[in-house]
Amino acid sequence: MNVKATIGADASATDVNTALLRLEASIEPDPVHTTPAKKETQVIAIYGKGGIGKSFTLANLSYNMAQQGKKVLLIGCDPKSDTTSLLFGGRACPTIIETSAKKKLAGEEVKIGDVCFKRDGVFAMELGGPEVGRGCGGRGIIHGFELLEKLGFHEWGFDYVLLDFLGDVVCGGFGLPIARDMCQKVIVVGSNDLQSLYVANNVCSAVQYFRKLGGNVGVAGLVINKDDGTGEAQAFAEAVGIPILAAIPADEDIRRKSANYEIIGTPGSPWGSLFDGLAEAVATAPPVKPTPLSQDELLGLFKGEAVGRGVVLEPATFEDMCGASAVVKPSLEVVYDTV
């Protein structure tokens, strides 16, 4: 299509770029390829509330796995595009979506070296997302996976592919691996707080729903991050029927090193054995069918004073809303006597 002929020959470069982006956004994405990978690759999707420590956990887990001789690919599927920042010492990766847009405008094809980078045996990339307020993050995930297909994703010979997803599985894009059997199992990262366990419970609900529709994805377990020993996350795991894969303590040394973009999961380091155990658990944990909790059951894991139980819901009245007395007007409704 000749965009300038459509919007006018005197259109500026900005107008042309805007028209191209709108044209691209109007095209429905192709169906995502869901046939099994040719190699017996474990594709594992990790979910959790934003800021709960998914990226920290995955950077150290993937590094530890690579040091054990495994070939690992880490894919950031969060619009924040921060999954790989710890792995690369705070440096940001060019995202697939941003790189694809630039290459398309230049009439060039995206190559693996444009979007995939490596450190000490770990391969990593970021899908990215739209600019703030300008698009759907889930749609960005779908487009990102389409490009991975074109780059030969299902031909790559990895032992593990780790997908870092935001826990908002009510969005079709973020729920993609569960809905379309794009992974074999799911891991949730949570802590001893209500919001992170609410997200973990939503992920369990999504897994249960799609298994009822014939899906095969299961939950491998829960990683407790910033564990302060209060026990709510452990109680949640027991209630929904999933194992605890690791409990990473709320430790000042971990917090400080993470803030400085340092990998702590190296073999032989003070925290190496923790991630050795997590790597083993991730590799061997079977995908199980969880039993998600109701809202009241989830709240029941916490002390009453922490979540507001005992508060009575008092219905509002018309007078409350208007600040005046309600005038009762006669009804024009015709009521017929019944025989």
Residues classed as catalytic: 49, 54, 80, 168
Spatial separation of the C-alpha atoms in residues 115 and 96, rounded to whole Å: 6
Six-digit token string for 173? 């894009």
CA 136 to the chain's CA centroid: 14
**Burial of 286: CB neighbours in 10 Å, binned 0-12, 13-18, 19+:** exposed
Q: Which of 244, 243, 239 is nearest to 294 (CA)?
A: 239
Six-digit token string for 165? 């997803």
Tell me the residue length of the chain: 339
Residue 52 corresponds to which amino acid?
A: I
Residue 117 corresponds to which amino acid?
A: F
Spatial separation of the C-alpha atoms in residues 151 and 316, rounded to whole Å: 58
Give the CA distances from residue 179 to residues 36, 101, 129, 190, 282, in Å, rounded to whole numbers and listed in that order.
15, 27, 20, 22, 21
Task: Give the DSSP per-residue string, 189-237.
Answer: EE-SSHHHHHHHHHHHHHHHHHHHTT---EEEEEEEEEE-S--HHHHHH
Q: Which of 47, 40, 34 is nearest to 186 (CA)?
A: 47
